[in-house]
Amino acid sequence: MNIVLLGAPGAGKGTQAAKLVEEFGTPHISTGDILRAAVKNQTELGKKAKSYMDAGDLVPDSLIIDLMNERFQEPDAQVGFILDGFPRTTAQAVALDDMLARLERPLDGALLVDVESEVIVKRLTARRCCKDCGYIGSDADASCPKCGGEMYQRDDDNEATVRNRLDVYEKSTSPLIDYYKGKGLLKAVDGDRPVDEVYADVKVALGL
């Protein structure tokens, strides 16, 4: 399985990716997770990316493209991949096409998880994530239902930053819907339904 997950921040890309990983074992490559780890470990990449992420703006394309070129060299990415949060601009999508052509690994599809903005603002301001296993939950979870770990709120999940992330999505990322439509690769699911119903549609859309 070689797929791209598209959709606004908070549409449920990470949630659906976790279900695909659990069922199919395909590597989940999330640029957001890679960047947050880099910020936490205070690497050079993390130091450069932090201010953009805190503001809800995009990290410059050149940093992201270098990061993904490296990530595709790792052995697990040879098995397949679920790309989550990449590409996010047309320049990144063109770079991805080049990377995949070099690797001779064509995309099977680009799956859009579609959810409208006001639902997203509610979801993201309530989102909490597990410090230990990365489980994505909400403020209804006192501790992680998977491992008992402590739940925390991402720095960019406050309302003002969420609204900026939605604007950035509209302006810079939503043109990728037409980009993949033009290549005959776009598939879409309604993401504003219970997680398991969305997942059932995801599998149908991807022919799994």
- The response to whether 36 counts as a known ligand-binding position is yes
Stretch 113-142 residues interacting with Zn ion (CB under 5 A): 130, 132-133, 135
Residue with tokens 């279900």: 19
Is 130 a binding residue for ligand AP5 by CB under 6 A? The answer is: no
- How far is it, in rounded angstroms, from Cα 61 to Cα 33? 16
Burial of 23 (0-12, 13-18, 19+ CB in 10 A): exposed
Is 149 a binding residue for Zn ion by CB under 5 A? The answer is: yes
Task: Please say whether the beta carbons of 130 and 208 come within 8 A.
Answer: no
- How far is it, in rounded angstroms, from Cα 117 to Cα 8? 8
- How far is it, in rounded angstroms, from Cα 194 to Cα 145? 18
Is 146 a binding residue for Zn ion by CB under 5 A? The answer is: yes
Active site residue 71: no
- How far is it, in rounded angstroms, from Cα 24 to Cα 89? 28
- The response to whether 57 counts as a known ligand-binding position is yes
Total binding residues for Zn ion by CB under 5 A? 8
Burial of 151 (0-12, 13-18, 19+ CB in 10 A): buried
Task: Please say whether the beta carbons of 190 and 6 come within 8 A.
Answer: no
Active site residue 127: yes
Binding mask 33-72 for ligand AP5 (x = CB under 6 A): --x----------------xx--xxxx----x--------
User: CB 191 → Zn ion: shortest distance, Å?
Assistant: 23
Active site residue 128: no
Q: Which stretch binds ligand AP5 (CB under 6 A): 73-81, 95-103, 131-139, 178-186?
A: 131-139
Active site residue 123: no
Residue with smaller CB distance to Zn ion, 68 or 130: 130
- How far is it, in rounded angstroms, from Cα 84 to Cα 10? 12
User: CB 198 → Zn ion: shortest distance, Å?
Assistant: 21
Q: Which residues sit in the known binding site for ATP?
A: 10-15, 127, 193
Residues that bind Zn ion (CB under 5 A): 130, 132-133, 135, 144, 146-147, 149
Residues that bind ligand AP5 (CB under 6 A): 7, 9-15, 31-32, 35, 52-53, 56-59, 64, 85-86, 88, 92, 123-124, 127, 136-138, 156, 165, 191, 193-195, 198
